[in-house]
A = this chain, B = another copy of it.
Amino acid sequence: MNLEDKIKKLYDYNKRLHVFDAISALTDWDRATGGPKGGIQIKQEIFSYLSGEEYNLLTSNEFGELLKSLEMQKEELNQKDRRLFDLTKRKAEDVRSIPKNEYTEYSSFIAESQEVWEEAKENNDYLMFAPYLKKIIEYNKKFAGYRQKNNMPLYDVLLDDYEEGMTMKDYDKFFETLRKDLVPLIHKILEKGKKTPISWDGEIFDTAKQEELSEEILKIIGFNFDNGMFKASAHPFTTGFDNKDIRLTTRYDEKDLAMSLFSTMHEGGHAIYEQQIADEYRFSMLGGGVSSGIHESQSRTFENEYGKSREFLRFCLPKLKQKFEFLKDVDEEYFYRAYNQAIPSAIRIEADELTYPLHIMIRYELEKEMMNKDIDINTLNIKWREKYKEYLGIDIENDSEGILQDVHWAAGLIGYFPTYALGSAYASQFTEILKKEIDLNKLLENGEFKPILEWHKENIHSYGSLKTPKELLKDVTLEDLNPKYYVDYLINKFSKIYDL
């Protein structure tokens, strides 16, 4: 086979893997957006079929030979093909490194573990879940061990899975800055800051009207409905088939408009990223957002830097007043402050912009301990409580609202959490540049997203996974990760809001 044919074969394999992903995404989308209870079993059959076929493909001799042979001619590949080769090889190695029986065993363990977690959370019984967490950490250590190169720390193997190129060393430095600069600010706000009571508390936001509003907002920010779909689900999420069919959901709470408003902005950010990826990467591993962290940077930009900005809220307020009569006397400044309060709370997904990264820092520190030391997992809930007290100044009343709140660990995701905070930092670093090139505030005030989307497309979105997260960040901002922008943004914003 000549090189051209080999490259073609690489793309063919990618297309096949992409079909598996698309079927999986569609099946999960259906489950989350109305598929009946009775359908769970056939869905499990579909997932198990897909993971089996993916495993077979990635571990087949023919595929292995292709990769080996391309490796030898790697220097002859252009940037796009070389990157696709790297991504494909990485995925193959991840799967090939784990013996099939262990992989299967782990998959069913994870399914069980999530069920147990759900029950444990319901019953506020951490000790019920702890043995599962212990075993998940063991599995993750073992699997990371299979893939470990040059004696790198096992946790680094996992961190790299979710954010290519990031290590404990990077994250330690990153979180150190957050701890140093944000914890004192939060404590100051707790002591001196005054709350803005929400004057429309107790009013009912009609769900149908919220839905209209969310759709309106998605249109304003530039989500393309011909290439996507929007629904409601218990937990908002975005899923992608390819740039021509991207789907997102939001969540409605009759008592709290902020829930749907900012969830829609957040998921809208994810979805628009995927929609703006260049067509040439479709049906391959290049055709999706490059990493959890970069993805989160886009969603958090839309949710926080744009969505919760004074300018965009100024633009939105009249629309809200039209739909919700009881808001008619709400003043703009008041509205801005009401939706931008920093109030430490137990639940990560309900956290405000300022306290959010500290929730992540706590999880990062605990993951690090679990992965690096042989600590007692049965008492990890105590450590959880201590850290919440220390960083956020709050007492965790029970484990359901503490260590049991998130599904991630139960689902085997170790090393994923830190990307949530990283995303916000990327966001501020990107926005710093964007602001130099376009008049962001004016555009937000006018609800004029076209030039904003163009900027994101040209600088970030269109590349898909062509560049690594580090390359992408450097190409746009001309420097490596620098949490200063993020910390400055938060200090600046919240000092003003709280008149500190």
Binding site for B on A (CB under 8 A): 15-16, 18-19, 22-23, 26-27, 29-30, 34-39, 41-42, 45-46, 49, 224-229, 241-245, 283
Known A16-B49, A30-B30; judge A42-B225 contact (CB<8 A): no
**18 CB-based A-B contacts, threshold 8 Å:** A15-B45, A16-B49, A18-B45, A19-B45, A29-B30, A35-B245, A36-B226, A36-B228, A36-B245, A38-B224, A38-B228, A38-B244, A38-B245, A39-B227, A39-B241, A39-B244, A39-B245, A45-B283
A29 to B15, CA, bound (A): 23
Task: Please state if A19 and B36 are interface contacts (CB–CB under 8 Å).
Answer: no
- Given known A27-B26, A42-B242, contact A229–B19 (CB-CB < 8 A): no
Does more than half of chain A's interface fall in helix, strand or loop, or is it mixed? helix
Return A315 CB to nearest CB of chain B, in Å: 27
CA A339 to CA B485, docked complex, whole Å: 70
- A22-B46, A36-B244, A45-B283 given; 15 more Cβ-contact pairs under 8 Å: A18-B45, A19-B46, A19-B49, A22-B45, A23-B27, A26-B26, A29-B30, A36-B228, A36-B245, A38-B227, A38-B244, A39-B241, A39-B245, A41-B244, A42-B283
> How far apart sit A29 and B34, CA to CA, in the bound complex (Å)?
13
- CB-nearest residue of chain B relative to A34? B229
Nearest CB on B from A50, distance (A):
9
Q: Which residues of B contact A39 (CB under 8 A)?
A: 227, 241, 244-245
Residues of B within 8 Å of A45, CB to CB, are 15, 18-19, 22, 283
| Partner among B37, B42, B226 whose Cβ is within 8 Å of the Cβ of A38 | B226
| Inter-chain contacts of A227 with B (CB < 8 A) | 36-39
Query: With A and B bound together, what is the CA distance between A283 and B38 in angstroms?
Result: 14
Tell me the smallest distance from the CB of A34 to a CB of chain B, in Å.
Answer: 6
A297 to chain B, nearest CB (A): 25
Measured in the bound complex, the distance between the Cα atoms of B242 and A45 in whole Å is: 12
Residues of B contacting A243 in the complex (Cβ-Cβ under 8 angstroms):
38
A26 in complex: contacting residue of B30, B34, B226, B241, CB < 8 Å: B30
CA–CA, A22 and B38, complex, Å: 14
When the two chains form their complex, are residues B229 and A42 in contact, meaning their CB atoms are under 8 A apart?
A: no
Q: Are B229 and A36 in contact (CB under 8 A)?
A: yes
A158 to B46, CA, bound (A): 32
Chain B proximity of A278: nearest CB distance (Å): 15
Cα–Cα, bound, A15→B48 (Å): 12
Contacts of A26 in B (CB 8 A): 26-27, 30, 46
- For A42, the chain B residues whose CB sits under 8 A away are 19, 22, 241-242, 244-245, 283
How long is the Cα–Cα vector from A402 to B150 in the complex, in angstroms?
Answer: 74
Min CB distance A240 to B, Å, is 10
Leading 4 A-B pairs by shortest Cβ distance: A38-B244, A39-B245, A38-B227, A42-B241
Shortest CB-to-CB span from A467 to chain B, Å, is 24
User: Within 8 Å CB of A18, what residues of B?
Assistant: 45
Complex Cα–Cα for A42 and B37 (A)? 26
Closest to A35 in B: B229
Chain B, residue nearest A225 (CB): B36
Q: Which residue of B lies closest to A30 (CB)?
A: B26
Residues of chain B with a CB closer than 8 A to A244's CB = 36, 38-39, 41-42
A25's closest neighbor in chain B, by CB? Answer: B42
When C-beta atoms are compared, the residue in chain B nearest to A227 turns out to be B38
**A39-B244, A39-B245, A244-B41 known; A46-B23 Cβ under 8 A:** yes
Which of chain B's residues have a CB closer than 8 A to the CB of A241?
Answer: 39, 42
CA gap between A36 and B223 in the complex, in Å: 13
